[in-house]
Amino acid sequence: MLKRINKAALVSAFTLSFIAGDVYAATEWNVSLWSKRRAFTEHVEKLAELVSAKTNGDFQLNISYGGLSKNKENLDGISFGAFEMAQFCSFYHAAKNPTITVTELPFAKDVSLKRLSEISQAVYSHPTVAKDLARWNSTLLMPSPLPQYNLIGVGDTPKSLADFKGKRLRGPGGIAGVMSQLGAVKTGVAANEVRQALDSGVIDTVAFAQHAHLAFGSIQAGKWATTNLNLGTANCPVVVNTDAINSLSAEHKEALLSSVQESLDYYVENYEGNVIKKYNNTVTEKGIERVTFTAEQTAELNTLAESVRAAWIEKYKGQFDAQALYDFTAAEFAK
């Protein structure tokens, strides 16, 4: 929250007059993340570093990992100003943010993190999306671009698509929507409980990006891993409280907004240069069997994905122009 610091109060204990030229506002924002610092949060960490440097410490982002809110309640906290900035994943509560779930649909495209970042930013700027998030007094600041999710599983390695029948899957809506048509069973498990769930047999497979497979231990339990599922990823934006960003001084607002792209560039460089390399090395070192889908299997998966995309449009057409937003997003993926 904004804190007033009056330099003139230090001038003299014997005078009650303040020198107007010496009054300035220092700003502190609370930022609600969860779990621990990891590749998924490096753009927020970089943003805090840049903003502080550009304002000589007058604008500070105080990052908390779970101390301010539960991850599934971050959007609620933003709405009533419990903190000024937060990260959340749209699949945590699709009903609260239906428009941005469009980027989680299985577009069956293998796109770079840089391009995914650009796609998300384009979608975030769409008027329909801005209106949707405004209901929560929320302004979308930047995405957390994640690679296409892949599965890590235990038990028998699937040799055909039919082998996914009956497998209990933890994953976001787009992937779960496709795999459920193969007979997989969507099973809800918190990210930090995935390793235990795999070990105990509560789930058979989990869909994550590489950093999460590393952070939450699924790679330690896994016996097999897919390499080219390409059925979507999660949309986990960083948002700010609209009142808070509107109340910033021009200098502080410029420091914040001008740091977004540099923070995203840093995030992408770190993820591609370090995380993906570590993930691939770990898969090899642990002898995890790689499952690569053939062209025919990929085509079948994409056919199943068409129904998931159509179902999304049908589900939301009464709330907003879902067809137009889908077409806009599909065009971005096609560029």
List C-alpha distances in Å: 207 to 213, 261, 308.
8, 28, 17
- The tens digit of pLDDT for each residue in 32-50 reads 999 999 999 999 999 999 9
Average of per-residue pLDDT across 16-26 = 44
DSSP labels, 32-93? EE-S---GGGHHHHHHHHHHHHHTTTSEEEEEEESSS--GGGHHHHHHTTSSSEEE--GGGS
Residues in the chain, total: 335
Task: Enter the tokens of residue 95.
Answer: 């009903």
Q: Which of 211, 114, 199 has its CA nearest to residue 155?
A: 199
Is 20 a residue whose pLDDT tops 70?
A: no
Average of per-residue pLDDT across 202-214 = 95
Model confidence, pTM:
0.86
Fold of 150-232+280-334: D-Maltodextrin-Binding Protein; domain 2 (3.40.190)
Domain with CATH 3.40.190.170 in the chain: 2-93+112-144+236-275, 150-232+280-334
pLDDT band at 109 (very low <50, low <70, confident <90, very high): confident
Task: Enter the tokens of residue 72.
Answer: 């599934």
Residues 211, 35: Cα–Cα separation, whole Å: 13
Q: Which of 129, 143, 112, 208 has its CA nearest to residue 169?
A: 208
3-class secondary structure, 11: coil
Is 303 a residue whose pLDDT tops 60?
A: yes
Homologous superfamily (CATH) of 2-93+112-144+236-275 is Bacterial extracellular solute-binding protein, family 7 (3.40.190.170)
DSSP labels, 90-120? GGGSTTTSGGGGGGGS-------HHHHHHHH
